[in-house]
Amino acid sequence: MSSQELPKTHRALVVHSTDIPPNVETLPTPQPGPGVAIVRILAANVISFMRQIYNGERQYPYPKPLVPGTSAIGRVAAVGPDATSLKPGQLVHVDCLIRGRDDPDNVFLAGIHEGYTEGSKKLMHGEWKDSTYAEYAKVPLETCDVLDEKRLLSPLPEGGLGYEVEELAYISGLLVPFGGLKDIGLQAGETVIVSPATGGFGGAAVLVALAMGARVIAMGRDRAKLEKLREKVGGGRVEVVPMTGDVEADAKSLKKWGEVDAFFDISPPEAAKSTHIKSGILALRKGGRVSLMGGIREDVGVPHGRVMHWNLTLKGKWMYERDDIKSMIKMIEAGVLKVGKSGGLRVVGKFGLEDWDAAFTAAEKNAGMGDSTVIAP
């Protein structure tokens, strides 16, 4: 499709201020240029704390007005003159992580957060401001990963995996914990603590760790939610440990099933005072690894002596690397990691742009393992 075939205008959700609700508006359709793909958005993911991002509660910095959004599944509508493999018509995963082409350390989250460097702010305030809660999105060519549509969408009897397009939007939720788990080299057969495991990204971490061949100890505040999670996953490779606030007792519980190789944290800011990080670190074997992916903004106490004497490795991870996206898509196309009903996962809601408020509520209320919400503009 050439740019002429794109409609002159399209509909997009626009955030003008954190003080007033977003609004659906008609805007000029973005056009392709060098380095650009224009993608018709089919299903854009909604994360559990989307409302807090756009009402200012989270204080995420981003330019306004902004077309919000995040990673999505879409179909390439037009490409710039320098595209060498991406073609109109292809089904793609659009990654919300945009990096400077001349310096990948200038990185930001399209539609969500401008990042922390002058370069990342320049990119989000300029060329790549608007995101995917729109009929069409203008994205960097390299953020589009082509999906094997035949394999993913064809019915099972025809050798496909029988997914719906909106089920594929969960890829972006799985990618976040995959970034951290891969970063600490999680191996098949190892045991990893995921904590807290009952939230959106925590639940995704359980699924990813299992697909990577690990055994999981799911930790959380609510035993009933943990038991439900274990039941849903099945397969006998998930154990659960409720957080009691007693650091030593919880560390002991975590070691009940033998050596623990890794600890993965994905706490929200509200968990800053929770004791689970200390318990998780104390439960590790010598040489164990820690991935800190949580959004805690305060300092957190670390058992320094144990980290030193036990030769532990502590790594922070923000999101994931570009290569991780390709690896994850391979895992999904191979059927090792299931994203649809066959894996016990469900899309709790598919909402139009006008229904953004209901979409944010659905995502907030259904943040558990395998539940996803999409906006289908």
Q: What is the dihedral of CA 60, 61, 66, 71, to 10 degrees?
A: -50
CB of 179 to ligand NAP, least distance (A): 7
Residues between 249 and 288 that touch ligand NAP (CB under 6 A): 266-268, 270-271, 274
Which two structure tokens, joined as six digits, stand for 117? Answer: 């460097």
CB of 297 to ligand NAP, least distance (A): 9
CB of 298 to ligand NAP, least distance (A): 12
Q: How far is CA 132 from CA 137, 219, 235, 315, 332, in A?
A: 6, 33, 36, 31, 23
Q: How far is CA 168 from CA 68, 78, 148, in A?
A: 20, 22, 11
Q: Which residues of 343-376 are buried (b: 16+ CB within 10 A; e: fewer)?
A: bebebbbbbebebbeebbbbbbebbbbbbbbbbb
CB of 207 to ligand NAP, least distance (A): 13
Q: What is the dihedral of CA 99, 320, 345, 138, to 10 degrees?
A: 0
Residues between 285 and 304 that touch ligand NAP (CB under 6 A): 293-295
Residues between 118 and 177 that touch ligand NAP (CB under 6 A): 176
Residues between 310 and 349 that touch ligand NAP (CB under 6 A): 317-319
Residues between 211 and 230 that touch ligand NAP (CB under 6 A): 220-222, 225
In the bound state, the residue with its beta carbon closest to ligand NAP is 295
Binding characters for ligand NAP, 10-49, by CB under 6 A (x = yes): -------------------------------------xxx
Does 201 engage in binding with ligand NAP (CB under 6 A)? yes
Local structure of 216: helix, strand or coil: strand
CB of 245 to ligand NAP, least distance (A): 9
**How far, rounded to the nearest angstrom, does the alpha carbon of residue 140 sit from its chain's CA centroid?**
19
Residues between 83 and 122 that touch ligand NAP (CB under 6 A): none
Residues forming the site for ligand NAP (CB under 6 A): 47-49, 176, 196, 198-202, 220-222, 225, 266-268, 270-271, 274, 293-295, 317-319, 367
